[in-house]
Amino acid sequence: MPPNLLKRFRQRFGIAAPRMTVQTHVAWYWRMLGLVAVLSCSFALAAWIYDAGRRFAGFDRSEAEQELSQLRASVDQLNKEATVLRTSVNASESKLQIERAAQSQLGKQVKALEDENTRLKEDLAFFENLIPSEQRDNALLINRFRVDPGALPGEFRYRLLLLQGGRRDKPFQGSLQLLVTLQQAGKDVTITFPEEGVAQSYKINFKYFQRVDGTFRVAPDAHVKMVRVRVFEAGSTQVRATQSFNLS
């Protein structure tokens, strides 16, 4: 036998030969099942350690869930109370609006009664002046004088009631005159009415009383501050009665 071949034989089957390991064959599904079991045990152990650590640190999951449930119940209760309060507030607002409307209506009624009272007093004075009296002189009275803006720019409407007191032996004949104080271009100006050509509309002739109304016009940019009415008897330049009405 050649020396090289013998040397190789001894290295393979002799004392110096490499060791051989014999392993039992295991199916792959058993290996996977074992791996799953090991991982499950690891996760369970990790979860137990995590819960134990939280309990050790003072945190209990069951207590937290219980507190969370209590908080949810408290929130639901607060929502119910808020709903009740909103309903109460809406009812209070509706009641307040009704009371305000009633108060406004009462205010309007009071204003109407005050106006009616003023009108009745004026009517009383009017009828008192219609009663003849030996002690009264032939006084001329101006009642209910008022000036209001008209429909057109610069137009104003006036109205008044003339009364002749005392003994009425004859009708009163005369005329009206309006003195309009206004502000125009930063200056105070007084305009006298009637204007030329319309004096006939300012004539008056009555025995007991006469209602007078009419209109006058000024520049649209003028601001009327006061209107004074004066009554003259025919054939005389002396003022028999006068009264003013302020618009500013």
Reading the block at residue 14, the tokens are 């002799």
Q: What is the pLDDT of residue 195?
A: 73
Whether residue 190 lies inside any domain: the answer is: yes
CA atoms within 13 A on the CB side of 232: 13
* Domain of 166, in residue numbers: 140-246
Q: List, for the chain, all residue ranges whose pLDDT scores fall below the cut of 50.
A: 134-135
Q: What is the CATH number of the domain that holds 215?
A: 2.60.40
Contact 133, 139 (CB under 8 A): no
pTM: 0.48
Cα distance between residue 194 and residue 201, in whole Å: 8
Structurally, how many domains does the chain consist of?
1
Cα distance between residue 142 and residue 109, in whole Å: 29
Q: What is the pLDDT of residue 135?
A: 46
At 186 the three-state DSSP class reads: coil
Cα distance between residue 48 and residue 45, in whole Å: 5
Cβ atoms within 10 Å of 199's Cβ, excluding its own = 13
Whether residue 234 lies inside any domain: the answer is: yes
Contact 240, 140 (CB under 8 A): yes
Cβ atoms within 10 Å of 183's Cβ, excluding its own = 14
Reading the block at residue 36, the tokens are 């799953």
Q: What is the pLDDT of residue 5?
A: 62
Q: What is the pLDDT of residue 65?
A: 76
Whether residue 13 lies inside any domain: the answer is: no
pLDDT tens digits for range 174-207? 999 999 999 988 899 999 998 765 556 688 988 8
Cβ atoms within 10 Å of 59's Cβ, excluding its own = 11
At 122 the three-state DSSP class reads: helix
Whether residue 197 lies inside any domain: the answer is: yes
Cα distance between residue 33 and residue 31, in whole Å: 5
Whether residue 208 lies inside any domain: the answer is: yes
Whether residue 229 lies inside any domain: the answer is: yes
Whether residue 169 lies inside any domain: the answer is: yes
Whether residue 70 lies inside any domain: the answer is: no
In sequence order, what are the residues at sequence separation of 6 or more whose Cβ sits closer than 8 angstroms to the Cβ of residue 143? 122, 125, 126, 160, 161, 162, 163
Cα distance between residue 205 and residue 183, in whole Å: 33
Q: What is the pLDDT of residue 87?
A: 87
